[in-house]
Amino acid sequence: MNASWRSQLESLFHHTFSTKTMEKSEWLKDINEGVSSGNKGHQMQEPGTTYRTKSGFVRFLLQERPGQVDYIELTDTISDREQMLLSIIIRQAAAEDKLGIGNPAAEKERIALELGRWVKEQLETGKRNTPVPVEFTSSRLEHEMIPFLIVREQGSMHSEHEGLEKLLHSFFEEEVMIIPLQEQEWLILGPASILKDDTAESRMDEEGETADDMLTGICSGLHGMLANEWVGECHVAVDYPIIPAESVVDTAATLRETISLGRKYHIGENIHFPWMLSLERLLNGIPEEQRHRYIELVVNRSDLLLEPEIITTLETFFSMNCNVSDTAKKLYIHRNTLLYRLDKLKQDTGLDVRMFRDAVLVKIILLLYKVTKRK
Amino acid sequence: MAGVRLEHVYKKYPGSDNASVKDVNLDIKDKEFLVLVGPSGCGKSTTLRMIAGLEEISEGKLFIGDRLVNDVAPKDRDIAMVFQSYALYPHMNVYQNMAFGLKLRKFKKADIDKRVREAAKILDIEHLLDRKPKALSGGQRQRVALGRAIVREPQVFLMDEPLSNLDAKLRGQMRAEISKLAKRLETTVIYVTHDQIEAMTMGDRIVVMKDGIIQQAASPDVLYNHPVNIFVAGFIGSPSMNFIKGTLTEQGGAVHFKTTGIDIALTEGRAKIVREKGYVGKEVVVGVRPEDLHDEPVFLEASPGSIVTALAEVVENLGHEKNIYLNGIGNDTVIARVDGRSDIKEGSNIKLAIDMNKIHMFDTQTELNIFES
């Protein structure tokens, strides 16, 4: 079944439909031993053929292949009427060629969906280091690829998978793998070759451009392209290239955490990088109560630290590596105005952010304040 | 090409008590160059992002042309965006970057080639078409970003601080180029900036925003000469308008404005307005632009009723003009902008005459311009 049919049925039956495959002889044996329905005794099987197994499942045939059958399976909690209805739907979909079986694009989407389900399961059970099972491994997953995670806040994915695939294919100019993790969350595996083309390499040598810089540029470009050409705003995270077959789950977990931290600590930003969020990751592990205590300890000295103008000033100051001139330029204020603000902060709080020690403290306070002030 | 209309548009983020954009009503005409300006957090970018479709509209209606586009995806709004971060595609060369949007829309190769080369010619980047973004300067990258928007031939261009990553000299150049480009393309442009010089020099009309609310929408001339409130008066103009708090009193048949170091008579026309509006005897804020304080002997002689004496604390010599920071007029520092040939010395006490035909006056409570409301 293609994604649309499958999703509609899944939401109707509140059940996940995974396509399974078994030997035709085994299917025929089961059907003959089954407790009801089926096409007992017949050698040719039609899509929609259904039976209840002794072990408590209801199976529906999707298609017959030489020596094998593809089917879906539900627990036998569904009624006879529901079983009959589902059988009719599958038969109808097969007649209209909407099952998508045999269609390479739909088949690819099906595999991606199932791989997504598997990745999600591993994430939920905390098994970050599980290698991808053989049934999903393809040559694509054995090669180095760049992992991206895209998260949207609104909309529906069903009609968008194909559009997203076309867009990404045009953007990367090579085949990409789109693995849906949740309704608004996709893990994208893009070609690592874009980091390694001759021009890029020569530029790296000449200008000292790092892999981080390259990935940042690609991620920014990808985000801009998706915002303009897809369905609006989304969050994008990227990590270093991986061999997906070995570490797709671990990478998905890292990227999820990256977007979550990015959204929490850097509101308004849509592009997130794991290597930029080390401090945020560390602070996120501090218990809530301890965070509050720490903030109160410092902030209680003066409310000035929480004024929007000071927060913007300090954030810009830190993003400009504590360079006064660059910060003033970025804020479009006179250097003396910036110095006046920093002096006032020092006077009120005793913290001089031009000193490394105090700068670290204030940076931590600002990050902690962002996640505690909404309480 | 098309106009853009916002009707009672609000933006409220989940979990926030206050709307970031409140009751915005704007009718942007076809081919108009409209600038949204205001300080950080005033809602200008949010408004633009709602027009772009990057932010959902919480309440109200947005029309592009005659089409209601509240629920239309950005790609289907027939707009092109240029943002502060150029977000060029680093693995594609300039030609591919510019052609990408057209390729997606299944334009014929010949059409794509024609549009890309025409846009490259307009932007003077024909010689860069084979280069990748990393090999370009900041100004060149911004031109490519503009080119990517131009080739789409959209109904509306949306630009969010597109020049803020450029150095001062390049900003000046690109400012003029974007203005020229907008006229040449005859297209509607909505341009966001916090820079009032960009706003004043580029916009057919400027919308000044503060706290998510439109303060005034008018031509640069009207905005500068007839600000509706203290915020607009202070935001537009550099150095900004001087504000002096004082009291209006009736004295010898004239209305005088008095405070520390200042006792000046209003013109008859302005005196009539403040009498009619009942401000005599009350505290008001007078606004004087730095260039409306004069040190030329001829002006001093002709304006005996508006002369003030003050200490010139700092003299900033900009060559063609000087900014004089004065102490002794009201309670705050007052800035006068005088001719570069003026011989005012730091530390000297000087006489200046205020051009009383150009002063503004604001209600201390509502902050509205008494002469404009």
- Whether A57 has its CB under 8 Å from any CB of chain B: the answer is no
For the stretch A60-90, pLDDT in tens is 888 887 777 888 888 767 888 888 888 888 8
**CB pair distance less than 8 Å for A218 and B132:** no
Note the CATH number of domain A142-276: 3.30.70
Max mean pLDDT range (A10-14, A222-226, B203-207, B236-240): B203-207
pLDDT at A290 over 80: yes
pLDDT at site A32: 78
Considering CB atoms only, which of B40, B53, B91 is closest to A232? B53
**CB pair distance less than 8 Å for B104 and A170:** yes
**CB pair distance less than 8 Å for A232 and B73:** yes
Question: How far from chain centre, in Å, is Cα B44?
Answer: 11
**CB pair distance less than 8 Å for B104 and A167:** yes
Q: Which CATH class is domain A286-372?
A: mainly alpha
- Whether B13 has its CB under 8 Å from any CB of chain A: the answer is no
**CB pair distance less than 8 Å for B90 and A221:** yes
pLDDT at site A88: 86
pTM of this structure:
0.76
- Whether B345 has its CB under 8 Å from any CB of chain A: the answer is no
- Whether B104 has its CB under 8 Å from any CB of chain A: the answer is yes
How close does chain A come to B255, measured CA to CA in Å?
38
- Whether A228 has its CB under 8 Å from any CB of chain B: the answer is yes
pLDDT at A1 over 60: no
pLDDT at site A189: 93
Q: Which residue of B has its CA nearest to A195?
A: B91
Considering CB atoms only, which of A194, A227, A233 is closest to B91? A194
Mean pLDDT of all residues belonging to chain A: 81
Residue-wise pLDDT tens for chain B (373 aa)? 689 999 999 999 877 778 899 999 999 999 999 999 998 788 999 999 999 988 889 999 999 999 999 988 888 898 998 887 768 999 999 999 999 999 998 899 999 999 999 999 888 899 999 999 989 988 899 889 989 998 988 999 999 988 887 777 778 888 888 898 888 888 899 999 988 889 999 999 999 999 999 999 999 999 999 999 999 999 998 889 999 999 999 998 899 999 988 999 999 999 999 999 999 999 999 999 999 999 999 999 999 889 999 999 989 888 899 999 999 998 889 999 999 999 999 999 999 999 999 999 999 999 999 998 7
How close does chain B come to A221, measured CA to CA in Å?
5
Cβ distance A90 to A48 under 8 Å?
A: yes
SS (H, E, C) chain A: CCHHHHHHHHHHHCCCCCCEEEEHHHHHHHHHHCCEECCCCCCCCCCCCEEECCCCEEEEEEEEECCEEEEEEEECCCCHHHHHHHHHHHHHHHHCCCCCCCCHHHHHHHHHHHHHHHHHHHHHCCCCCCCCCCCCCCHHHHCCEEEEEEEECCCCCCCCHHHHHHHHHHHHCCCCEEEEEECCEEEEEEEHHHHCCHHHHHHHHHHCCCHHHHHHHHHHHHHHHHHHHCCCCEEEEECCCECHHHHHHHHHHHHHHHHHHHHHHCCCCCEECHHHCHHHHHHHCCCHHHHHHHHHHHHCCCHHHHCHHHHHHHHHHHHCCCCHHHHHHHHCCCHHHHHHHHHHHHHHHCCCCCCHHHHHHHHHHHHHHHHHCCC
**CB pair distance less than 8 Å for B132 and A221:** no
In chain A, residues under CATH classification 1.10.10.2840 are 286-372
Q: For residue B78, which residues of chain A lie inside 8 Å, CB to CB?
A: none
How close does chain B come to A334, measured CA to CA in Å?
12
In chain A, residues under CATH classification 3.30.70 are 142-276
Considering CB atoms only, which of B15, B75, B195 is closest to A228? B75
CA dist., res. B108 & res. A272, Å (int): 36
- Whether B83 has its CB under 8 Å from any CB of chain A: the answer is yes
pLDDT bracket for residue A157 (50, 70, 90): very low
Mutate to test the interface with B, among A170, A228, A229 (most CBs of B within 10 A): A228
pLDDT bracket for residue A207 (50, 70, 90): low
How close does chain B come to A214, measured CA to CA in Å?
8
Nearest 10 degrees: Cα torsion A196, A201, A204, A206: -170
How close does chain A come to B241, measured CA to CA in Å?
17
pLDDT bracket for residue A374 (50, 70, 90): very low
Tell me the HSE value of B72 on the side-chain side, using a 13 A CA sphere: 15
Compare A232 and B73 and report the one with higher pLDDT.
B73
- Whether A225 has its CB under 8 Å from any CB of chain B: the answer is yes
CA dist., res. A336 & res. A138, Å (int): 61
